[in-house]
């Protein structure tokens, strides 16, 4: 695995690979890698000749400075995991490399960023669009791989690609869960023992909601999920929305959209976890 810290160096190497007719797959991450990230790498390896992974904790997408400071940093461990996973190229830039000057771009995503995460993390998706577009310009991938755990982010990135006319195919990869159902997240390692023990209730409740959706109304299912998770002393629901998978707008009836998802954010002490399931 080759590791690069500058845009110039990685761009030069990728240019050589392109001249050889290689297809480039890309997995952007913020590090603290787990099996969910590695599933993206695995699929990328199958679909593309070259797998590029970036590790960069992007400051512009954190509206909470405490969350940025708490986010785990372990580049040496991550690098070893990627090498073992067969990653071809690691891009490990510093902040100055990604933002040689302040990125003042403001994106308009219509209603996509006005709900769920957008309400509770103002400016978050603008920061995501800034960093992902910057990385796409540097890596110039043919395909880029993102996990479905970040359901709203995936919709935002698809819209950004459309607006900026990037020639990259966005591949959505299913959520990877621990044996107890908890969606894998870099933030899971920040949970204490009691919190980690209770956190799987989030997924358990969502899976139960899938069954209830066949018999109960949208409003009843929504309230049941919120009440069930909130009964835990360790968990507090920030939001649970039942939405159209394309527009991300809340639905009132199971007939309102072709695919309907339930998306949740839960506070576990100072840690914030998200998850989602298809309900209809």
Q: At what angle do helices 151-164 and 124-139 cross, to 10 degrees?
A: 60
Number of H helices, E strands in the chain: 11, 9
Which residues are part of the catalytic machinery? 37
- Bridge pairing between strands 235-244 and 169-173: unpaired
Compute the distance between CA of residue 182 and CA of residue 205 in angstroms, rounded to an integer.
Answer: 11
For Cα atoms 273, 188, 234, give the angle at the middle one, nearest 5 degrees: 60
Identify any residues that bridge with 265 across adjacent strands, giving them in sequence order: 239, 274
Q: Beta partners for 29?
A: 55
Residue that is written with structure tokens 């690098």 in the block = 79
Nearest to 128 by CA among 110, 155, 101: 155
- Specify the DSSP class assigned to residue 200: T
């Amino acid at each position: 695995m080759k590791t690069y810290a500058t845009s110039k160096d990685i761009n030069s190497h990728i240019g050589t690979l392109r001249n050889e007719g290689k297809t480039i797959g890309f997995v952007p991450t913020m590090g603290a890698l787990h099996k969910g990230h590695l599933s993206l790498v695995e699929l990328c390896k199958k679909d593309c000749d070259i797998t590029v992974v970036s590790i960069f904790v992007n400051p512009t997408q954190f509206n909470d400075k405490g969350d940025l400071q708490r986010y785990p940093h372990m580049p040496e461990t991550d690098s070893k995991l990627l090498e073992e996973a067969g990653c071809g190229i690691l891009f490990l830039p510093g902040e100055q490399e990604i933002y040689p000057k302040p990125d003042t771009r403001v994106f308009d995503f219509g209603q996509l960023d006005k709900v769920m995460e957008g309400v509770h993390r103002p400016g978050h998706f603008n920061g995501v669009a800034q960093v992902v577009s910057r990385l796409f310009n540097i890596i110039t991938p043919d395909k880029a791989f993102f996990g479905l755990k970040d359901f709203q982010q995936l919709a935002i990135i698809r819209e950004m690609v459309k607006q900026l006319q990037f020639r990259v195919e966005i591949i959505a990869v299913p959520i990877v869960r621990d044996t107890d159902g908890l969606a894998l997240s870099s933030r899971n390692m920040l949970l204490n023992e009691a919190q980690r023990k209770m956190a799987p209730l989030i997924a358990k409740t969502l899976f139960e909601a899938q069954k209830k959706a066949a018999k109960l109304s949208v409003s009843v299912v929504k309230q049941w999920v919120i009440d069930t998770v909130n009964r835990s002393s360790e968990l507090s629901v920030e939001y649970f929305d039942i939405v159209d998978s394309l527009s991300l707008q809340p639905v009132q009836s199971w007939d309102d959209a072709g695919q309907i998802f339930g998306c949740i954010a839960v506070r576990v002490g100072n840690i914030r976890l998200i998850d989602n399931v298809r309900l209809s």
